[in-house]
Chain A
Amino acid sequence: MARASTYRGLPGFGLSLGFTLAYLSLIVLVPLSAVFLKTSTMSWPGFWQAVASPRVVASYKLTFGMSLLAALINTVFGFLLAWSLVRYWFPGKKIVDALVDLPFALPTAVAGISLTALYAKNGWLGQYLEAIGIKVAFTPLGVLVALVFIGLPFVVRTVQPVLEDLDTEIEEAAASLGARRLQTVWRVVVPSLTPALLTGFALAFARSVGEYGSVIFIAGNLPMVSEITPLIIITKLEQYDYAGATAVASVMLVASFVLLLVINGLQEWTSRRSGREA
């Protein structure tokens, strides 16, 4: 009942909802339903063969596994970065702040080529890593490096404004009530940032799952080892197998959608919880 009254109070609900739905359909739903329509031209056995062959399954594992891992790494280090940028002043802070957005602006192919040049066995970093037995370029590890690079801005940029709005008075209150510094961070700051962290995580993850341009250069693209799902889709397109390509794409879409739904639910749950506690 309470929810019903919130929108009835505002005029223009019908219009704005209508506009929202029409806009979303045009921009998102129509292209996506084309994917499912094209897929539906396939028979069930054909579909199953396209989406569940060992090579494709191996690529799902790599793509989703590395994307989750990269998003996790970005969540931890993105949080630290946002914290330093909001809470401290240091010379060159503005420049560091601008650097965070660079992975957004850089064409992904450029990112891929420079990372490969850096981590190849004759590269600046690669030559030392190779010496101690760590291979980055042309291995699944390379995929992770590229995904961490392109996912960096998401967590920083979602956490930063929330952290700026977070009153230091709350932390002072916690301290005056006897909380130690770590306790304050862990029990006061982190819970109020969790929704923002989860959003950043979801965005970084979603971006990584669909990433093609930068990964393709550093991955090595070996079937069963370092072949990402977007490459499988491109490969099928190159062979004029439109239906097969859209079949794999639809599996990716559904999986991503479910994962994002779970993350959004989690975010809602934590924000309600921290809201009630506050």
Chain B
Amino acid sequence: MSFTRLWARPLAWAGFTASFLFLLSVTVLAQTTILNVSYDVSRELYKDINPAFIADWKAKTGETIVVNQSHGGSSKQAMSVAAGLDADVITMNQSPDIDILVERGGLVAADWRKRLPHDAAPYTTTTVFLVRKGNPKGIKDWDDLAKPGAQVIVPNPKTSGNGRYTYLAAWGYALQKSGTEAAARDFVTKLFANVPVLDGGGRGATTTFTQRDTGDALVTFENEAIAIGAELGTDKFDIVYPSLSIEASAPVALVDAVADKKGTRKVATAYLEFLFSAQGQEIIAMHAFRPRSEEVLHKYASRFPAIKTFSVEQTLGGWDKVQKDHFADGAIYDQIIVKR
């Protein structure tokens, strides 16, 4: 048997495989890839959004794209993008984490809020209470959480957006009820005196409340409260809607610097616009976030009871002011937590 005959077949296979791999790598390279850098608990939402958008884009343009997602604590994620993580879009749960990218290196254009409907927030959620089944402590409203003897689980406002919204919701409630800042300060002092554990993030607080059996009420986002019911059974906990709460909107933005460098501006913008489309809003509602579309909200009305809310922008003077007055080192939150 000659050398050529012996090796012809394996060589042909090797050649075939090599060219196949080469072609594959070329197609992968040619494929447009966008990266969505997001906060922690939006993981499941975007897992459903991405395939829907990819199919939608393919139907519209014939182009096959890849959408990658990255999740983590929202401030940490924003810092990674500022430090050079190539995010085409960022989807956060509070606007300071996008504003920081405007301030640091101008990665995002300053007018990002104006480029999409609803101040660039495709959905909102609100802060609600989760209590043990049958509500044994009779917790109805914020006042009940500030009563002596109640135990309230809240994530750390210093490290989590969720905790920050809780603090601001309590502050806004007291402010509306009494009308003076002094009374509001007194109220949040009493409420935080009832907090036995400050977890780093929303999920940690959920674990403390549900798994460690600690606390009479968990104050958290509505979507988290609904997810707990879906995950652990609705027979263990009840959701309580307070008389007034805060609107937590989740802003999204195109990272201009990265999208222009990668040439993905068009598809990345379409991705963000998809979040506001009927299909996107539907997926959002299924994940227990309140959609912006009246139509979709109406369809899922049983899931989202009407609740009176206020926003940081309307009532509290915007995030810059809130950050400076409440959460900066030595500001009101630090003062009340040291006194507790």
Contacts and interface: CB of A to CB of B under 8 A. Distances in A.
Interface of A: 49-50, 53-55, 116-117, 120-123, 137-138, 216-217, 220-224, 234-241, 244
B202 to A, nearest CB: 14
B329 A236 contact: yes
B73 interface: yes
Closest 9 pairs (CB-CB, A-B) = A120-B212, A122-B213, A220-B197, A221-B198, A238-B75, A235-B158, A223-B337, A138-B197, A238-B159
Interface in B154-199: 156, 158-159, 195-199
A7 to B, nearest CB: 44
26 contacts: A53-B334, A54-B338, A55-B334, A55-B337, A120-B212, A123-B212, A220-B196, A220-B197, A222-B195, A222-B198, A223-B198, A223-B337, A223-B338, A224-B337, A224-B338, A234-B159, A235-B159, A238-B73, A238-B75, A238-B76, A238-B158, A239-B75, A239-B328, A240-B75, A240-B100, A244-B329
A216 B328 CA distance: 22
Contacts of B79: 237, 240
Contacts of A117: 211-212
Contacts of B198: 220-223
Interface string B78-116: 010000000000000000000010000000000000000
Contacts of B337: 55, 223-224
Given A138-B197, A222-B197, A122 B212 contact: yes
B338 A55 contact: yes
B329 A49 contact: yes
Contacts of B159: 234-235, 238
B50 interface: no
Contacts of B156: 221, 235
Contacts of A220: 196-198
Contacts of B212: 116-117, 120-123, 137
Contacts of A116: 212
Contacts of B32: none
Interface in B101-137: none
Interface of B: 73, 75-76, 79, 100, 156, 158-159, 195-200, 204, 211-214, 327-330, 334, 337-338, 340
Contacts of A222: 195-198
Contacts of A221: 156, 197-200
Contact of A138 (B196, B328, B338): B196
B335 to A, nearest CB: 10
A222 B75 CA distance: 21
Given A137-B212, A234-B159, A239 B327 contact: yes
Nearest to A46: B329
Chief secondary structure at chain B's binding surface:
loop
B197, B211, B330: most-surrounded residue (chain A CB, <10 A): B197
A49 B330 CA distance: 9
A122 B196 CA distance: 16
Nearest to A135: B196
Nearest to A235: B158
Contacts of B334: 53, 55, 223
Nearest to A137: B212
A122 B214 CA distance: 9
A40 B206 CA distance: 40
Nearest to B158: A235
Given A235-B156, A240-B75, 17 more contacts: A117-B211, A117-B212, A120-B214, A121-B214, A122-B212, A138-B214, A221-B156, A222-B195, A222-B196, A222-B197, A223-B334, A223-B338, A224-B337, A238-B159, A239-B329, A240-B100, A241-B329
B247 to A, nearest CB: 23
A49 B340 CA distance: 21
B329 A53 contact: yes
Contact of A120 (B75, B195, B213): B213
A87 to B, nearest CB: 41
A116, A222, A236, A244: most-surrounded residue (chain B CB, <10 A): A222
A222 B336 CA distance: 12
A50 B330 CA distance: 9
Contacts of A239: 75, 158, 327-329
A140 to B, nearest CB: 13
Contact of B200 (A49, A216, A241): A216
Contacts of A241: 329
A234 B200 CA distance: 10
Contacts of B197: 138, 220-222
Nearest to A219: B197
Contacts of A244: 329
Contacts of B214: 120-121, 138
A49, A54, A220: most-surrounded residue (chain B CB, <10 A): A220
A214 B214 CA distance: 19
Nearest to A119: B212
A173 B334 CA distance: 64
A116 B197 CA distance: 12
Nearest to A127: B213
B303 to A, nearest CB: 31
Contact of A53 (B76, B211, B330): B330
A251 to B, nearest CB: 15
B156 to A, nearest CB: 6
A216 B197 CA distance: 11
